Amino acid sequence: MLHNIFKLTFIMVLLNSCGLFEPETGISESFTYESIAIGTTGVAAVYYPEDYTSSTPVIYLLNGFGTDAFAWETGIDLAMQAHKRNIMFVSLSAQYNLYVNNTSLPNRNYEDYVLEIVAGVEDEYGIDIEHTSRAICGISNGGGGAIYLMSQHPDLFTACGSLSGTYYNQINFGNLRSHGIRIDVGTNDDVVLSELQHLHSKLTDERINHDYYEHAGAHDWDFWKKYCPEQFDFLEDRISGE
């Protein structure tokens, strides 16, 4: 009996050394801190591969209007995506605000809030990367925020993605050159389709390279779950160094 136990233990150690018992998903955690930008506790959801390093690329995910920092995970298994792609994902929300600084209202500086989270998360997890290893992506209001934020901080993000994103008219188009942009929108999306068609025309007129796709679908999770993996593929190609 004892011999069999030792034999089984040896086999398990051998299989583990061959990688057959490696974790099948990543790790998810909450990151909280006292935010100066919004005057209250900031919250982000962090998803990362178990064997991440200081050079692991990061994709920041902006949630839609009225949602919390954990809304992305209701439709996408971000821990699995982190494990599969060897990328850290950080999800956050501006709640009922745009991802801009509001000079007329105190504690509504959500552009600065995103910058705080980028700095805070990467310091907490020991991430030390250049902007070429960092991207940003968003759904609905978050999609608009992603393009806007990259246009304001081109030295912070190398690529952005928009899933049914709203149109922020404060975009600095000159800063988007040499950066990656992908936009996906549904042909039945009564919320933002016309806005994104206008943005597509504006980007084209400004001679800014971008990928723009209209697909069958609406402004909902059925659409976002379908095209989120393609957004991640696009962003991964630009931050993985390949």
Model confidence over 124-139: pLDDT tens digits?
A: 999 999 999 999 999 9
Closest among 229, 175, 178, 223 to 196, alpha carbons compared = 223
User: What is the C-alpha R_g of the chain?
Assistant: 20
6 band by pLDDT with thresholds 50, 70 and 90: very low
pLDDT in tens, 205-238: 999 999 999 999 999 999 999 999 999 999 999 9
Helix ranges, the chain (H): 2-17, 78-85, 110-124, 141-152, 193-205, 221-239
Name the band, by pLDDT with cuts 50, 70 and 90, for residue 76.
very high
In contact, 225 and 75? CB cutoff 8 Å:
yes
| Bridge partner residues of 92 (DSSP) | 62
Contacts of 168 (CB under 8 A, 6+ apart): 98, 99, 100, 144, 145, 147, 148
Residue 8 pLDDT greater than 70, yes or no:
no
pLDDT at 181: 98
Asked whether 24 and 49 are in contact (CB, 8 A), the reply is no
Beta bridge partners of 182: 161, 211
DSSP-assigned letters across all residues of 159-215: EEEEES----TT--GGGGTTSEEEEEEETT-TTTHHHHHHHHHHHHHTT---EEEEE
| CA dist., res. 42 & res. 94, Å (int) | 10
Mind listing the domains of the chain with CATH numbers?
29-239 (3.40.50.1820)
